[in-house]
Structure 1
Amino acid sequence: MREFERQIREAISAARTGARQAEQSLSNPLWQAKSSMASLGGMLPGRHAQPQEPSEEDDEAAYAQTPPHSGDVAGNGGALPQVAALGNAQIQGVRAESGMRRASIERPGIASGLWENPWIAAAMPLLLLVERLRGQSGMVMAEVRPQIIRELQYFQQHLKKQGKSLEDVEHLSYLLCTYIDGIFGARAVAEAFSLSLLVEFHRDAWGGENCFEHLQAYMDSPQQNREVLEFYDLILSLGFEGKYLMVERGPVLLRDLRTHLNTLLYGQNPTQQLTLATTRPVSAPRRKRVGALTILCWGLALCIAAWGITAWYLHEQARQIRSDILAWVPPEPRKINIMETLPNPLSQILTEGWLEVRKDPRGWLLIFTSDGAFHTGSAVLSEEFVKKRNIERLGMALAPWPGDLEVIGHTDSTPFRNNSANSNLKLSEARAQVVADTLRETTSINHTHQRDISSIGRGESEPLADNATEDGRRRNRRVDILWKVGQREADRVIKDFQDSEAVDVSSLDE
């Protein structure tokens, strides 16, 4: 490589002095094709030039007149000259009469920008070159590989001159080689990329694995390696996948890794907002005339003021009406003392032991346990309970008395295992529905007084006893029949009063 660098300096010196000899050498397409191969660092020795067509005799003569360089590399009996970039002047590519394409090499590091991150700033010329080349079709890899190698060498040397850690430089160069090999490896033609950049620069072929091991080591100390992590984040956002291209659920794992990396980079120190990046404040022009927005705001303010005054006036006018409503006490609904005037059939049923009566704020609560009345875990009445006609006899006892009925089903806290699709709540609802249907269909409970009979299930939400004991669970498995004695009359009185008050208020407004 030292001999190669010496020849590069000679070519640069020849270009600056305008030496005709170097220009004639570079203008020869045969010599330039060999130069592109020689820039691979001597990896392809002995490559013979292709035979020329008869129409290219002038070019061969010009090439024969060019003196050989002292540093030519010998191979297979022939000399292979080497050349590099000619200063800042880019070698203009032209086609020979045979249509052969000539490679041109630029000075490395030309395409750059202002970057606070020194790693990104050093790699930006190479990344821009790769992004420009990957979008080109019909590209010859043998022509672009020398320029890529020059940019990689510039990346390493530039960072070493800045005093960066040699280990970090090697790791990031390792990452760049792996990334570029992944892009151009599938497009390689002839022998241009038969030897990958990773093998040539680092003598390794496991870039997809090792790159992420290096990244994990840097992520263990995010504060000390923030600039290096930003470089890894840039390469990942350009589409680098590495080993995750082959593993199962690779895209998901890679997305999780990038999310964790972004959290380390920007979770505590978010990026600067664009509103804070302005260099000088911008003042809005001063309005000299009243605009439509000002008129609209004043109009809304006047409407709000008018609404407030009207609301206050109506509030004062209705003060006496509100006081009268709050002072009114509705008449107490008529209640029936069922214990004093208990009909004979109901008193006989209570003595049998399967029915219990309790006082409730809404009326009376008739309770009977589900054990013996229903099959276990089912909403089907048992044969013995049906044979005794308990529900029918209860309906006949309640028929002479008014009042709506609400059937409420309850269960214990034991999970329902007979069918996974059911639950204690569904079981309680089904049992309550069976009792309500039996009261409506098999008794004359609505013969004397028309009443509403509804059903609802509460599951294990309203226990009467502790579910920790067997006796408590047995008491909790029950069906309640809420007898709303006098409730309908009280509701009717309150509704009639509210309707009359609404009529009075509407007449007052008119």
Structure 2
Amino acid sequence: ASDAAAGEAGDVARRLIGQLRAFERNALRLCGSPEAVTGASYLLCTLADELLTRRMGLNWTLESLLVYHHADAHGGQRCWALLDELLAPDAARRQPHRKPLLALYDLAIALGMRGVHALAPGGEQALHQLRTRLQAELGDAAAQAPGPAEMMALATRHARPSRRWLGVGLAAAVLLAVAGLHAATQRQLEAQWLAAARDAAQALAADGTPGSRP
């Protein structure tokens, strides 16, 4: 059973790594910012590692996307430092591509990423405050989030990411991978995903198309 679980973890890791590389290529072509794409990739690896470790334990720890893809064995701690930078008073000037990243952080937290806040006193309250700040920064864009059906389509069709929805397809794929490990039937998998996506879609935002109001 242990060997089977390890094999399953390896299969999931290989699929996600393939999707991650495709995401990075397409996102770089669309937004032209290596820094933003690396930040999104790091965040998505952190989200995948945390959610899948909860489901698979050591079997997933040995497949860590952060270790494999970013040579980072610190459990994604840098994610939170990057978020602080993105929320700094002068960040809008220094990082013009920050809004898609802010939207992706909001989605990741909505989907269960806890990181350093998992065991910290007042951790959930701190995460709630972070999401409040994120949504304030994103403003009206929060109402432009895709619905659950659109997000499911991005995951199941491996749709090419766009400037508007940077990283959503891969985040959706992560959630499908997590749900699929324990769903007894396809119907259960879809129910788990749609329930998570329904909540996440309310928080997700994007920077809009070029020329739109910030």
Q: Which has the higher helix share?
A: 2
Measured in 2, the distance between the counterparts of 1:153 and 1:264 equals: 29
Query: Which residue of the partner structure matches residue 87 of structure 2?
Result: 219
Unaligned residue ranges in structure 2 (runs of 5+): 145-214
1:193-342 counterparts in 2 under 5 A?
193-220=61-88, 221-222=91-92, 224=96, 225-266=98-139, 271=143
Q: Which has the higher strand share?
A: 1
Change (3 A) 1:142 1:209: closer
Task: Choose which of 6, 12, 35 in structure 2 pairs with 1:167.
Answer: 35
The question of whether the paired residues in 2 share the 8 Å contact of 1:174 and 1:202 is answered with yes
The question of whether the paired residues in 1 share the 8 Å contact of 2:106 and 2:134 is answered with yes
The question of whether the paired residues in 1 share the 8 Å contact of 2:49 and 2:60 is answered with no
Aligned-pair CA distance for 1:190: 7.7
- Comparing both chains, which one has the higher relative contact order based on Cα–Cα distances under 8 Å and sequence gaps of 6 or more? 2
The question of whether the paired residues in 2 share the 8 Å contact of 1:222 and 1:264 is answered with no
Q: Residues 213-235 of structure 1: CA distance to partner in whole angstroms, max 9, x if unpaired?
A: 11111122247322221121111
Q: Residues 439-494 of structure 1: CA distance to partner in whole angstroms, max 9, x if unpaired?
A: xxxxxxxxxxxxxxxxxxxxxxxxxxxxxxxxxxxxxxxxxxxxxxxxxxxxxxxx
- The percentage of counterpart residues that share the same residue type is 30
Query: Which residue of the partner structure matches residue 188 of structure 2?
Result: none
Aligned-pair CA distance for 1:188: 3.1
Change (3 A) 1:270 1:190: closer
Aligned-pair CA distance for 1:269: 6.2
Number of equivalent positions: 137
Q: CA RMSD in A?
A: 3.0
Relative to the length of structure 1, the TM-score reads 0.25
Measured in 2, the distance between the counterparts of 1:218 and 1:190 equals: 32
1:13-412 counterparts in 2 under 5 A?
140-188=8-56, 193-220=61-88, 221-222=91-92, 224=96, 225-266=98-139, 271=143
SS of the residue corresponding to residue 205 of structure 1 reads coil
Aligned-pair CA distance for 1:160: 2.1
The question of whether the paired residues in 2 share the 8 Å contact of 1:140 and 1:189 is answered with no
SS of the residue corresponding to residue 125 of structure 2 reads helix
Aligned-pair CA distance for 1:201: 0.7
The question of whether the paired residues in 2 share the 8 Å contact of 1:160 and 1:169 is answered with yes
Change (3 A) 1:142 1:195: closer
Aligned-pair CA distance for 1:142: 2.7
Aligned-pair CA distance for 1:191: 5.4
The question of whether the paired residues in 1 share the 8 Å contact of 2:13 and 2:65 is answered with no
Query: Which residue of the partner structure matches residue 385 of structure 1?
Result: none
**Counterpart code for 1:250:** G
Q: Residues 39-65 of structure 1: CA distance to partner in whole angstroms, max 9, x if unpaired?
A: xxxxxxxxxxx9xxxxxxxxxxxxxxx
Measured in 1, the distance between the counterparts of 2:82 and 2:124 equals: 19
Aligned-pair CA distance for 1:192: 5.8
The question of whether the paired residues in 1 share the 8 Å contact of 2:66 and 2:72 is answered with yes
Measured in 2, the distance between the counterparts of 1:160 and 1:269 equals: 22
Change (3 A) 1:253 1:163: closer
**Counterpart code for 2:80:** F
The question of whether the paired residues in 2 share the 8 Å contact of 1:175 and 1:207 is answered with no
Measured in 1, the distance between the counterparts of 2:75 and 2:38 equals: 12
Mean CA deviation greater in 184-193 or 162-171: 184-193
The question of whether the paired residues in 2 share the 8 Å contact of 1:198 and 1:204 is answered with yes
**Counterpart code for 2:132:** T
Measured in 2, the distance between the counterparts of 1:143 and 1:197 equals: 13
SS of the residue corresponding to residue 162 of structure 1 reads helix
Unaligned residue ranges in structure 1 (runs of 5+): 1-49, 51-100, 102-136, 273-510
The question of whether the paired residues in 2 share the 8 Å contact of 1:188 and 1:194 is answered with no
**Counterpart code for 2:47:** Y
| Structure showing greater Rg | 1
Aligned-pair CA distance for 1:252: 0.8
**Counterpart code for 1:257:** L
Aligned-pair CA distance for 1:207: 3.9
Measured in 1, the distance between the counterparts of 2:57 and 2:135 equals: 37
